[in-house]
Amino acid sequence: MPRESSTCAESPSDADVYNYAHRAFLQAFLSQSVMTVDEIKPVLAAVLTAHDPTRPSLEGDITQPLITSTVQAINAKIGALDYEIRSARDQTSKTLTYALVNTTSDALTQLATSFTPDEISYVKRLLDYMFETNNTRIREIMAVSTMETTQIARPPPRSRQSQAQTQIEADGDEPTQVQVRDPGLKMQEAEDVLNTLVAQGFFHCSRAGYYSLAPRALMELRAYLKETYNEPPADDDPEDEGITRIHDCEGCREIVTVGVRCSDRDCGVRWHDRCAIQYFRGPRGDTKKCPTCKTGWTGDLFVGERAANTQRRSTGGRNSRRNEEDYEDE
């Protein structure tokens, strides 16, 4: 007998078979985009109850394995459409958050549906500022202050990604390349973009007014950030080590934009605060050493907003990481 016509009531243990409840749950994701486990519980309970009113589900019935199997069943259906529900823990609170993400390689195309091209250019300038300008060997802030967000509302004369857009105009039979200057955004427009990014769960704004990536952005932009900001070593130069601007946590292997780093600034070891505490708990805590370079672990070199208090030694700009190295070597 086909499953659909079964008279047996579907229990939560049937969560791996795609059904009406999964569709309804996916609908909730389409309207919310991001949900924490605590937000998921009442939604899933309501959806399951609507699916089978004879067996009402309460929030307390929604276990982590049930959420996991429900998400897996949905992902099996939507994978072909380049969508996936992913989960990640908030870097500081460690709250488990789920997001419906577009898995195509250029995740910014997802944003392009709700922003104009000029607004997307602004988002790219914000990311450049987070992961290049404010992410140097000395200071890995990986966030943008409110003042900086207004300073880059209009593009600088030369910037990495946000250079003048190239448009192709049909001129007779021969297409001609025409350079179109990106006019940037007015202050109010820039503020609106930031508010939208915060409302959609892409950006987080701290009490001190620093904008950083929220879990949804980290889930969706993971590959994009590494492709854009990490530079692999040149094949023809054995001396070249490349540049790693985006590091994964030594504990949970997720990207660290808020956390702690090895006391040796040349070492690539990064942790989320809680992941480091977990690691150094127990016998390892007696003689704290970096697991890679064995440098004594001080835990007072930060990644994220707290790094903004480290004294500025850079001249800034695109190659500030290298400039700082030169400065230190002098």
* Rounded least distance, CB 281 to Zn ion, Å: 14
**Alpha carbon distance 88, 177 (integer Å):** 43
Residue closer to Zn ion by CB (options 44, 214) is 214
Contact between 293 and Zn ion per CB under 5 A: yes
**Alpha carbon distance 208, 4 (integer Å):** 54
Q: Which helix (H) or strand (E) holds 26?
A: helix 20-32
* Rounded least distance, CB 94 to Zn ion, Å: 9
For residue 42, give the amino acid letter. P
Residue closer to Zn ion by CB (options 45, 290) is 290
Phi–psi pair at 272, nearest 5 degrees: -75, 150
* Rounded least distance, CB 183 to Zn ion, Å: 40
**Alpha carbon distance 321, 314 (integer Å):** 8
Radius of gyration of the chain measured on its C-alpha atoms: 23
The distance of Cα 100 from the centroid of its chain, to the nearest Å, equals 13
Give DSSP secondary structure letters for 236-270: T-TT---B--S-BBTTT-SB-SSEEE-SSTT---E
Binding mask 157-176 for Zn ion (x = CB under 5 A): --------------------
Alpha helices in the chain (DSSP H): 20-32, 37-51, 64-78, 108-112, 117-128, 146-151, 187-199, 215-229, 273-280, 320-329
Number of residues that bind Zn ion (CB under 5 A): 13
Residue closer to Zn ion by CB (options 243, 267) is 267
Contact between 123 and Zn ion per CB under 5 A: no
Q: Which helix (H) or strand (E) holds 205?
A: strand 203-205
Contact between 276 and Zn ion per CB under 5 A: no
Q: State which of residues 67, 197, 290, 301 lies at the interface with Zn ion (CB under 5 A).
A: 290
Residue closer to Zn ion by CB (options 90, 264) is 264
Please say whether the dihedral angle defined by the alpha carbons of residues 117, 124, 119 and 220, taken in this order, is positive or negative: positive
* Rounded least distance, CB 55 to Zn ion, Å: 38
For residue 19, give the amino acid letter. N
* Binding residues among 236-275 for Zn ion as defined by CB under 5 A: 249, 251-252, 262, 264, 267, 269, 272, 275
**Alpha carbon distance 322, 309 (integer Å):** 20
Contact between 222 and Zn ion per CB under 5 A: no
> Which span (125-133, 212-220, 285-293, 302-310) binds Zn ion, by CB under 5 A?
285-293
Residue closer to Zn ion by CB (options 11, 278) is 278
* Rounded least distance, CB 143 to Zn ion, Å: 18
Binding site for Zn ion (CB under 5 A): 249, 251-252, 262, 264, 267, 269, 272, 275, 290, 292-293, 295
